[in-house]
């Protein structure tokens, strides 16, 4: 396989995301980690911050590039002339949503395939949402986040606390 797209919000990117991307490059020549600009999702980090964090977190991984996109992932894939989408499945609870999304994408673009990869077991239970929540409660996340994402999360949390204290 030449290339694949690994789309997501990456708010922030986790070691589980990186695990999936590293494993995908073992059978693809190039992986484009595609950060979606989703106006419906209320993200902790801005679109630009998320792209920057993914770039910093993957800069030393050969065959991975990072791009942002707006709209449907199948349209982005067509634009890039890529017919494979990589998605991660952590738990059985992910399956229903991911299966529905894959079938919808297949209906919209029949020539584009979705490949599911499971992360290493040590990352199979983590999600960006959960990590942000437990981080605000004081959890040490160095095992779950790349150092650049951990630093950005600390900085963002400190900025939010400063703003709240000024009110």
The CATH code of the domain that includes 118 is 3.40.50.620
The catalytic residue among 34, 57, 128, 148 is: 128
Catalytic: 17?
yes
Digitized pLDDT (tens) for each residue of the chain, 167 residues in all: 699 999 999 999 999 999 999 999 999 999 999 999 987 888 999 999 999 999 999 999 999 999 999 999 999 999 999 999 999 998 777 888 899 999 999 999 999 999 999 988 888 888 888 888 888 888 899 999 999 999 999 998 888 766 666 76
The predicted pLDDT at position 42 comes to 87
The catalytic residue among 41, 81, 143, 167 is: 41
The dihedral sign for the CA sequence 54, 56, 61, 65: positive
CB atoms within 10 A of CB 32: 22
The predicted pLDDT at position 138 comes to 87
- pTM here? 0.91
The catalytic residue among 90, 106, 127, 156 is: 90
How many CA atoms lie less than 13 Å away from 73 in the CB half-sphere? 26
For the record, the structure tokens of 166 come out as 């000024």
The predicted pLDDT at position 164 comes to 67
Domain that holds residue 54: 3-166
The catalytic residue among 17, 50, 87, 132 is: 17
Catalytic: 128?
yes
How many CA atoms lie less than 13 Å away from 123 in the CB half-sphere? 20
Q: How many domains does the chain have?
A: 1
Instruction: Write the DSSP symbol of residue 112.
Output: -
Instruction: Write the DSSP symbol of residue 99.
Output: H
The predicted pLDDT at position 167 comes to 62
Catalytic: 106?
no
Beta strands 84-88 and 113-117, pairing class: parallel
User: What is the distance between the alpha carbons of residues 45 and 51, in angstroms, rounded to a whole number?
Assistant: 10
């Amino acid at each position: 396989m030449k290339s694949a797209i690994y789309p997501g919000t990456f708010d922030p990117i986790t070691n589980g995301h990186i695990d999936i991307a590293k494993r995908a490059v073992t059978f693809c020549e190039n992986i484009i980690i595609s950060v979606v600009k989703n106006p419906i999702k209320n993200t902790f980090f801005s679109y630009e911050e998320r792209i920057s964090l993914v770039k910093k977190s993957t800069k030393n991984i050969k065959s991975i590039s990072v791009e942002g996109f707006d709209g449907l992932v199948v349209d982005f894939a067509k634009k890039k002339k890529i017919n494979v989408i990589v998605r991660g499945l952590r738990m059985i609870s992910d399956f229903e949503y991911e299966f529905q999304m894959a079938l919808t994408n297949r209906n919209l673009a029949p020539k584009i395939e979705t490949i599911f990869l499971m992360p290493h077991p040590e990352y199979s239970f983590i999600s960006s949402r959960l990590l942000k929540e437990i981080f605000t409660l004081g959890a040490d996340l160095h095992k779950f986040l790349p150092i650049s994402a951990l630093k950005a999360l600390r900085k963002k949390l400190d900025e939010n606390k400063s703003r709240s204290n000024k009110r």
